[in-house]
């Protein structure tokens, strides 16, 4: 019995040590302030990032910077490629989001919030844009930037807005401690309070049957579409800034304020930890398009790319 306990302690120690000693495959620099949003192009060739100094950087995966441009009058809070990879969006604290061509040509500036735009995303079919921000309201736009409808009802900033895989519904995460599910036509399905602090992130699984939420209360929750809790995850010691499903829907990635990102199974088992505790804070996180890497942005103005080992997959 004592031997079994010793082996268990040794394994736990080795796992924690691994998280502290492993290094990222690549670290990209170039930003002068904290990076607030990152995205990889659909073909996996480009990396887009936006920062607190109002700029975005488009680079290739070899860290060759293609465009470094001041895009907004205030911070760039979010960035995202269009599904066809020909355009991208930037969301700013100057009340706008902007539509850009891949060569850096500005297509349109859209006033999308009365305070600031925190989140912006394309629908999967590329026909619509969804934004949310400081005036507590999400808005649906055409891909050209024309307003379609609003989704009111939250009492605090919309931190993340996401489309379902079939684009028939949306999920909103808010700092009012709730998340809400809506039909794309404007009917609210539910607004759920569960977390003890603001909901920083919410998104759908690739099959559209589940929702994942992350919170500043340091917890993660997995839900069905009727707001029934499936799995509760605990393991972060500080605020969680991002949660996301892997492309195949088998894993969940979370990133937070303690300098650690974590890879989970859907039943709440911690598979791997990335980063070094206390060194920096992760502000955004995403899986690479091939699902073999995780991309993490830091408050130290850098981007880390970590390999997911074959044993984890």
Digit-coded pLDDT (tens) for 14-48 = 444 444 457 899 999 999 999 999 999 999 999 99
Please give the C-alpha separations between residue 104 and each of 15, 67, 98, 164, in angstroms, as whole numbers.
43, 7, 11, 29
Burial class (CB in 10 A: 0-12, 13-18, 19+), 23: exposed
Closest CA to 247 of 195, 290, 283: 290
When pLDDT is cut at 50, 70 and 90, the band that residue 309 belongs to is confident
Least confident of 144-148, 235-239, 293-297: 235-239
Which DSSP state fits 73? S
Which DSSP state fits 278? T
- Span 8-18, mean pLDDT? 41
In our burial notation (b when 16+ CB lie closer than 10 A, e otherwise), range 3-15 reads eeeeeeeeeeeee
- Rounded Cα distance, 238 and 219, in Å: 9
**pTM to 2 decimals?**
0.91
Q: Which domains does the chain have, with CATH numbers?
A: 2-307 (2.130.10.10)
- Rounded Cα distance, 141 and 53, in Å: 26
When pLDDT is cut at 50, 70 and 90, the band that residue 236 belongs to is confident
């Amino acid at each position: 019995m004592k031997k079994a306990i010793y082996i268990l302690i040794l394994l736990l120690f080795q796992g924690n040590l691994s998280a502290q000693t492993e290094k990222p495959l690549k670290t990209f620099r170039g930003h002068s302030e904290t990076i607030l949003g990152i995205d990889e192009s659909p073909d996996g060739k480009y990396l887009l990032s936006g920062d607190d100094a109002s700029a975005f950087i488009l680079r290739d995966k070899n860290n060759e910077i293609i465009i470094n441009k001041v895009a907004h009058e205030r911070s760039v809070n979010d960035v995202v490629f269009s599904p066809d990879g020909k355009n991208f969006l930037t969301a700013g604290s100057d009340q706008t989001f902007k539509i850009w061509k891949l060569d850096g040509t500005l297509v349109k500036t859209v006033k999308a919030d009365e305070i600031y735009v925190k989140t912006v995303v394309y629908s999967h079919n590329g026909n619509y844009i969804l934004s949310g921000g400081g005036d507590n309201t999400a808005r649906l736009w055409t891909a050209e930037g024309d307003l379609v409808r609003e989704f009111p009802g939250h009492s605090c900033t919309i931190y993340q807005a996401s489309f379902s895989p079939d684009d028939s519904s949306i999920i909103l995460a808010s700092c009012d401690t709730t998340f809400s599910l809506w039909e794309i036509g404007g009917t609210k399905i539910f607004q759920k309070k569960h977390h003890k602090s603001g909901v920083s992130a919410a998104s759908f699984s690739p099959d559209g049957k589940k929702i994942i939420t992350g919170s500043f209360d340091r917890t993660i929750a997995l839900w069905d579409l009727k707001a029934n809790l499936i799995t509760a995850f605990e393991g972060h010691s500080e605020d969680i800034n991002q949660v996301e499903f892997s492309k195949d829907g088998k894993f969940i990635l979370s990133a937070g304020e303690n300098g650690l990102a974590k890879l989970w199974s859907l039943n709440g088992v911690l598979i791997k930890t990335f980063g070094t505790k206390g060194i920096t804070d992760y502000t955004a996180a995403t899986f690479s398009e091939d699902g073999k890497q995780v991309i993490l942005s830091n408050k130290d103005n850098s981007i880390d790319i970590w390999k997911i080992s074959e044993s984890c997959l």
